[in-house]
Amino acid sequence: MMDMYLRGKVSELIESIFPIMGFFLARRNYLRYSAIGSALLVCAVTIADVGAQDIDRFGFTRYLMGTEAKIVLYAADSTEAAGAAGQAFDRINELNEQLSDYLIDSEVSRLSKTRGQPITVGENLWNVLFTGQKIARASEGSFDMTVGPLTLLWRKAMRRATLPDATEITNAMAAVGYRLVELDANSRTVQLNGENMRLDLGGIAKGYAADEALKTLIEADFASAAVDIGGDIALGNAPPGSDGWSVEVFDLNTENELETEKLTLANCGIAVSGDTYRYLEYDGIKYSHIINPRTGYGVEHERRVAVIAPSAMIADAWASAYSVTPWESSISDSIDRVNLSTRFVERRESGLEEVNTGKFLRD
């Protein structure tokens, strides 16, 4: 396999940078792009000197779920580390085969073809749908896994560089709505109660896969580990001798100057949502690839959202939700959610505005 691992003594100063902007696919110069103002928000996980003498740090990378999947773990033996990382990557690939709407034979794609009947689903799909529906209700539809019909329209629009037809959007919207999904926890069944529905788990599945990959590493006795799948990061125990993983958040201040804030985190998930490069510009208006389920159109505001949550799956879904929720509503809602820490940065008519909650609050 095309695994790559980098080995270094933990007593040496080593940094491993994880860019977690979903649309930044392994850009080695992503910090430079931030510095010239092309991006509003970037995060990175860095690993510094942890002081242990008998433990090494190992990093592995594979291309999975349409993006780079990265694992960093601490171990005493390179063979054992590589074996554990391989198992974690296999777990990610297994989940992709179940949860990807790009694969016509995936479990979620098969479910999307059903109508009006309860379908028993596997544990993984159930876990994602159950949590996703909770967040859909809590966000009043800002997060919605039924946007698949709209996703297809906008994928085609991006390729053709033209807006979807208004009639097509209206027709697709008829098949969108989280209330059309009925879950029965007793029987672990899912029922789709609309015509032409299509589930799209793109706003939550990578976070779940990161959590599950980390769980695989922990079960193999590698608890000091971190998993990043295209910007959705699951953090395990702190590296040996350290208080946690060093997380750096980069954004622009009101003078368009780059600012950096460092956080120390462990045993949580973190995700960033937003867009700078993936958009469709039509008649002078930029439409993001991030679709607002309430309107059927790509969002027009330029916003970055970072979320810290108990798991990467929860962080992933809430970052997606807050990307489309109106500015004031996003802020007021996030303040009330004590299990979330959030950072919002948006370019508005009055200039660049930033709001932080929880762990993002500056001293």
Rounded CA separation 319/115 (Å): 30
Which one has a higher pLDDT value, 288 or 120? Answer: 120
Structure token digits, residue 69: 């999947």
Per-domain residue ranges for the chain?
Answer: 6-100+204-278+301-360, 107-192
Indicate if the pLDDT at residue 161 is higher than 50. yes
CB 129 within 8 A of CB 145: yes
For 8-17, 195-204, 341-350, which range has the lowest pLDDT when averaged over its residues?
Answer: 8-17
Residue with tokens 């939550």: 204
* CATH code matching the domain that covers 6-100+204-278+301-360, chosen among 1.10.3720.10, 1.10.357.10, 3.10.520.10, 3.40.800.20: 3.10.520.10
Half-sphere exposure of 63 (CA within 13 A, CB side): 4
For 2-11, 18-27, 323-332, which range has the lowest pLDDT when averaged over its residues?
Answer: 18-27
Evaluate whether 6-100+204-278+301-360 and 107-192 have a shared fold.
no
Rounded CA separation 198/237 (Å): 37
Half-sphere exposure of 279 (CA within 13 A, CB side): 17
Please report the pLDDT score of residue 163 as a whole number: 83
Amino acid at 295: T
* pLDDT per position as a tens digit, 212-254: 999 999 999 999 999 999 889 999 999 999 999 988 766 655 5
Q: What is the mean pLDDT of the chain?
A: 82
Please report the pLDDT score of residue 235 as a whole number: 97
Architecture of domain 107-192: Orthogonal Bundle (1.10)
How many DSSP H helices and E strands does the chain contain?
A: 9, 17
Across 5-19, 239-253, 254-268, the highest mean pLDDT is recorded for 239-253
* pLDDT per position as a tens digit, 17-44: 333 332 222 222 222 222 222 234 445 5
Indicate if the pLDDT at residue 167 is higher than 60. yes
Q: How large a percentage of the chain has pLDDT more than 90? A: 58
pTM for this structure?
A: 0.85
Q: What is the mean pLDDT of residues 174-183?
A: 97
Please report the pLDDT score of residue 130 as a whole number: 98
Please report the pLDDT score of residue 116 as a whole number: 96
CB 190 within 8 A of CB 213: no
Indicate if the pLDDT at residue 127 is higher than 80. yes
Using pLDDT thresholds of 50, 70 and 90, give the confidence band for residue 352. confident
CB 301 within 8 A of CB 346: yes
